[in-house]
Amino acid sequence: MGEHGNGDPRDSGAVINAGDGESGQYAVDDPGLPPHRPRLADEDEKTAKRSERQVAVLFLVSIIGTVIFFIGYFVVGHTADLHEVRLQNTLLGLGVAFAMLGIGLGVVHWAKTLMPDHELVEARKPLRTEEQRQEAEQIVGDVLEESGIKRRPLIRNTLIGAAVLAPLPAVVLFRDLDLSEDFGPERMRHTIWDEGVRLVRDPTGTPVRAADLTVGSAMHIVPETLLDITDHGEKLAEKAKSVVLLIRMDPEEIQTVSEGREDWTYEGIIAASKVCTHVGCPVALYERHTHHLLCPCHQSTFDAANEFEVIFGPAGRPLPQLPIAVDDEGYLVARSDFTEPVGPSYWERGNA
């Protein structure tokens, strides 16, 4: 076994091994490797020939697989028909599968039936002997001594200082990952909702009259001013804060109206931020009979009849409510921006 057995592991004294099967340690002594049992193909040339043919057949299957791939690629060709895309994908997949499995199974079958299956034994070498360790220790000691780093603490200390500071620019350089002009958490307190901004449907952008909503229905709403933003990134960022779910319920069913919120609704029409206060998924499911809003991500459930208080799930706060009114032309408008930051809680949020 080449070099592997040369170091005598019993001689090193470098490593303590767990139980070694020393004689007398266990109830029976190590009987050694079981005798090798020859396979059929080891003794019978006809069986060996048959294995050889089987391996060759598997390699042929691989060749057929490659041909299937080319049929899928060239014969089906470019297509926009979804069924043909599926067919092509299946042919390519089956082709590659046959091509690979043919080779793989063939080689493994070859190894298992025709290559020698004797298990061999190799000695483990210790990672180091005590003698080698001492030699290495000597080298390290000499290197340190020659560098003089121990004798000259001034050099050592200034080097440590420099080495600690030097990587800092590499961290600072990433400061401009956020290039925005209004950098900082303050911007999270505001959305583009404002007094008089019309509620419009998402995605059509048409304004909403109170009469458009029947009792029990719900509508996805964005501020009309969102449509004026041309920059795609800015638009998405603003939309991510200002999406609103508008629902209409029987005014009788509204159970809680806290002080200062008396005029936030209009004839049973309530608007709430659609951004979950948990981690920010859209709270998109509304159940009209229970007035519950459910976030499909983590199942936080909010009760619209009680100012969107959390009745189930991991959300920590009620959904912020958008105060609404009706303008001169009869369209629904916001009375103001949200009175607290929307979306997931963050460190700087504080008492809002």
298 is a site residue for other proteins (CB under 8 A): yes
Contacts of other proteins in 218-277 (CB under 8 A): 220, 222, 232-233, 236-237, 239-241, 243, 274-276
Residue 220, helix vs strand vs coil: strand
Question: Residues of 233-247 as b/e, b for ≥16 C-beta within 10 angstroms?
Answer: eeeeebbebbbbbbb
Identify which of residues 315 and 324 has a Cβ nearer to other proteins in the complex.
Answer: 315
Identify which of 233, 215, 235 has the alpha carbon closest to the alpha carbon of residue 223: 235
317 is a site residue for other proteins (CB under 8 A): yes
Identify which of residues 70 and 142 has a Cβ nearer to other proteins in the complex.
Answer: 70
Contacts of other proteins in 12-71 (CB under 8 A): 15-21, 23-34
Considering only residues 11, 43, 45, 122, which one is a binding residue for other proteins as defined by CB under 8 A? 122
What is the token pair recorded at 313? 């799930």
Report strand pairing: 292-294 vs 324-326. unpaired
Contacts of other proteins in 62-101 (CB under 8 A): 73, 77-80, 85, 88-94, 96-101
Considering only residues 44, 145, 195, 348, which one is a binding residue for other proteins as defined by CB under 8 A? 348
Tell me the CB-side half-sphere exposure of residue 192, using CA atoms within 13 A: 22
190 is a site residue for other proteins (CB under 8 A): no
d(CA 328, CA 251): 22
CB of 19 to other proteins, least distance (A): 5
d(CA 273, CA 242): 7
169 is a site residue for other proteins (CB under 8 A): no
Residue 195, helix vs strand vs coil: coil
188 is a site residue for other proteins (CB under 8 A): yes
Identify which of residues 26 and 144 has a Cβ nearer to other proteins in the complex.
Answer: 26
DSSP-derived letter for residue 234 is H
CB of 217 to other proteins, least distance (A): 17
316 is a site residue for other proteins (CB under 8 A): yes
End-to-end CA separation in angstroms for the chain: 75
